């Protein structure tokens, strides 16, 4: 199998963080890109679902970002609310 060199334009901070995460997994960034490429070929597309978030998910994300969602003092209170 022949190898080629390529270049990518990536956000510097995200690349640094990704490399740190991959290092803890025992992988280099190149290893991860090669795995991703192999999965694209095997799946004949992206190896994960890509879609727009639902309205419900957008609402949930908004609540998390603005801290407007429900909060509970204990796990018991959370479960009591879920049971209602």
pTM recorded for the entire structure:
0.61
CA distance 73 to 78: 8
Query: Given a cut of 80, is residue 68 above it in pLDDT?
Result: no
% of the chain at pLDDT higher than 90: 74
How confident is the prediction for the chain on average, in pLDDT?
93
Decide: 24 and 17 in contact? Cβ < 8 Å: no
Structure tokens at 17: 């963080």
User: pLDDT of 16-48, one tens digit each?
Assistant: 999 999 999 999 999 999 999 999 999 999 999
Report residue 70's pLDDT band, with 50, 70 and 90 as the boundaries: confident
CA distance 22 to 32: 8
Report residue 54's pLDDT band, with 50, 70 and 90 as the boundaries: very high
């Amino acid at each position: 199998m022949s190898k080629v060199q390529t270049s990518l334009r990536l956000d510097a901070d995200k690349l640094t963080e990704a490399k740190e995460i991959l290092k803890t997994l025992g992988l280099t960034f190149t290893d991860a890109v090669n795995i991703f490429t192999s999965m694209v070929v095997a799946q004949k597309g992206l190896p994960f679902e890509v879609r727009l978030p639902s309205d419900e998910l957008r609402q949930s994300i908004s609540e998390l970002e603005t801290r407007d969602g429900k909060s509970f003092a204990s796990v018991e209170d959370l479960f009591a609310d879920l049971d209602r």
